[in-house]
């Protein structure tokens, strides 16, 4: 079957942070001798130029500037990147431009400048409102700065904003987790990312693990937190994302619906569909800033084809993060495979109560969401 083009988005990675958090396994590097902002911007735009032939004639409907901490860049620097992007590729009139930001005072003062430069949505990394927890997580802001940043976002001409919040923190009890969530809800963000702290390999927490709450406590936090969010008008639409009506993150929806995205900047990942070659391409950029900005090497670390046999797992690994029904037609359109390719796995998933099946859609069940890994292994 012929591959069809899904929507296209753009991810831009800015790799620097003031300091590296002990739980973070993202490609981020602590600022030591200043940030080469102008040099990096030039390389990011050259990186985009290098990838543009892969998406000739296509438009982007969302941009996500992640990190690291993108708000260590000046407002003029972010505007320069966005202007450069718009000069190179067609952007839809209603394009969503999300930027991750740290609630620290210096960054918050720049928020208006970022909006003037083209940012339409902030994702503010609060993580907790409790001083002891913020220190344990290695965060450089305090509770007052987090509250101030959220209130500032409310006052700016933004389309939306998100608060990033964690639970299951070191020695956290149910009351502490729900107090954090209640405070976040009180700031009235249109979108909340609320997710459990996990210990990832190759992080400071992996080598010196903190004491985390027991599984029973984590389950109670999750269930009571979900009820609290629903009570205040937030609907869960993805494993760790909750939004008021119409406020889902468009960029993330595109990821989970198996859309395409260009990834530019240090260590950025991309996925591009090439129907003329019956190919889905995965790209990864050079991870370390010094190597990335070494012009003699180019920007790409790897380009790999997604083999047809790997496409079902990839498709459902993304699609079943979303709680919405999955159109059967999307599977064939975006993988190029017939539905018969996955008949056996779908039947088994339905028999186990992980999925329900209609004539046109698959719907992940509560059990399927809880045992997502078991569901996904059926497609390997």
Per-residue pLDDT tens over the stretch 33-58: 789 999 999 999 999 999 999 999 99
Q: Is residue 310 part of a domain?
A: no
CATH number of the domain enclosing 325: 1.10.10
- Encode the chain (380 residues) as per-residue pLDDT tens digits: 889 999 999 999 999 987 767 676 677 777 877 899 999 999 999 999 999 999 999 999 999 999 989 999 999 999 999 999 999 999 999 999 999 998 886 677 789 999 999 999 999 999 999 988 988 888 888 899 989 999 999 999 999 999 999 999 999 999 999 999 999 999 999 999 999 998 888 877 777 888 899 999 999 999 999 999 999 999 999 999 999 999 999 999 999 999 999 999 999 999 999 999 999 999 999 999 999 998 777 899 999 999 999 999 999 999 999 999 999 999 999 999 999 999 999 999 999 999 999 999 999 999 999 999 999 999 99
The pLDDT of residue 105: 63
What are the helix and strand counts (H, E) for the chain? 16, 17
Q: Which of 30-58 are b and which e, b meaning 16 or more Cβ less than 10 Å from the residue's Cβ?
A: eeeeebebeebbebbbebbeebeebbeeb
Q: Which of 212, 231, 254 is the last residue of a domain?
A: 254
Asked if residue 214 belongs to a domain, the reply is yes
Domains contained in the chain, number: 2
Residue finishing a domain among 254, 271, 300: 254
CATH number for the domain harbouring residue 74: 3.20.20.70
**Residue 109 has what pLDDT?**
77
Q: What does each C-alpha distance from 81 to 14, 158, 192 come to in angstroms? A: 11, 19, 27
> How many CB atoms are located within 10 Å of the residue 99 CB?
27
Q: Which of 254, 285, 304 is the last residue of a domain?
A: 254
Domain extent, residue 57, equals: 8-254
Look at residue 75 and tell me if it is in a domain: yes
The verdict on 100 and 219 lying in the same domain is yes
Q: Tell me: do 227 and 372 sit in the same domain.
A: no
Determine, yes or no, domain membership for 353: yes
**Do 30 and 109 share a domain, yes or no?**
yes
**Does residue 300 lie in a domain region?**
no
Say which residues have a Cβ less than 8 Å from residue 178's Cβ, sequence separation at least 6.
Answer: 221, 224, 225, 228
Q: Rounded to an integer, what distance in angstroms lies between the CA atom of residue 106 and that of residue 102? A: 9
């Amino acid at each position: 079957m012929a591959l069809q083009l899904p929507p296209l988005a753009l991810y831009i990675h800015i790799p620097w942070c003031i300091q590296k958090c002990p739980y973070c396994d993202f490609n981020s590097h602590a600022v030591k001798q200043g940030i080469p902002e102008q040099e990096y911007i030039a390389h990011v735009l050259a990186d985009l130029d290098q990838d543009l032939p892969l998406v000739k004639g296509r438009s982007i409907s969302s941009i996500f500037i992640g990190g690291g901490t993108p708000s260590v860049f000046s407002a003029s620097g972010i505007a320069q990147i966005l202007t450069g992007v718009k000069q190179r590729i067609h952007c839809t009139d209603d394009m969503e431009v999300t930027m991750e930001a740290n609630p620290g005072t210096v960054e918050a003062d720049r928020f208006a400048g970022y909006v003037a430069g083209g940012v339409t949505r902030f994702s503010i990394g609060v993580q907790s409102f409790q001083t002891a927890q913020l220190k344990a997580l290695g965060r450089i802001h305090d509770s007052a700065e987090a509250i101030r940043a959220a209130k500032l976002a409310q006052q700016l001409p933004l389309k939306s904003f998100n608060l990033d919040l964690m639970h299951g923190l070191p020695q956290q009890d149910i009351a502490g987790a729900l107090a954090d969530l209640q405070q976040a809800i009180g700031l009235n963000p249109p979108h909340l990312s609320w997710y459990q702290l996990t210990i990832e390999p190759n992080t400071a927490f992996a080598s010196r693990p903190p004491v985390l709450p027991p599984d029973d406590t984590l389950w109670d936090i999750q269930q009571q937190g979900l009820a609290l969010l629903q009570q205040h008008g937030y609907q869960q639409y993805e494993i760790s994302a909750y939004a008021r009506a119409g406020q889902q993150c468009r960029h993330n929806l595109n990821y989970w619906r198996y859309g395409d995205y260009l990834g530019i900047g240090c260590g950025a990942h991309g996925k591009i569909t090439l129907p003329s070659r019956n190919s889905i391409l995965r790209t990864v950029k050079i991870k370390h800033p010094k190597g990335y900005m070494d012009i003699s090497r180019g920007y790409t670390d790897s380009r790999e084809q997604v083999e047809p046999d790997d496409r079902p797992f990839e498709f459902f690994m993304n699609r079943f993060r979303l709680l919405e029904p999955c159109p059967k037609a999307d599977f064939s359109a975006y993988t190029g495979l017939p539905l018969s390719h996955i008949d056996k796995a779908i039947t088994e998933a339905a028999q186990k109560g992980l999925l329900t099946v209609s004539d046109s859609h698959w719907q992940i069940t509560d059990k399927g969401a809880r045992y997502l890994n078991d569901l996904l292994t059926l497609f390997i």
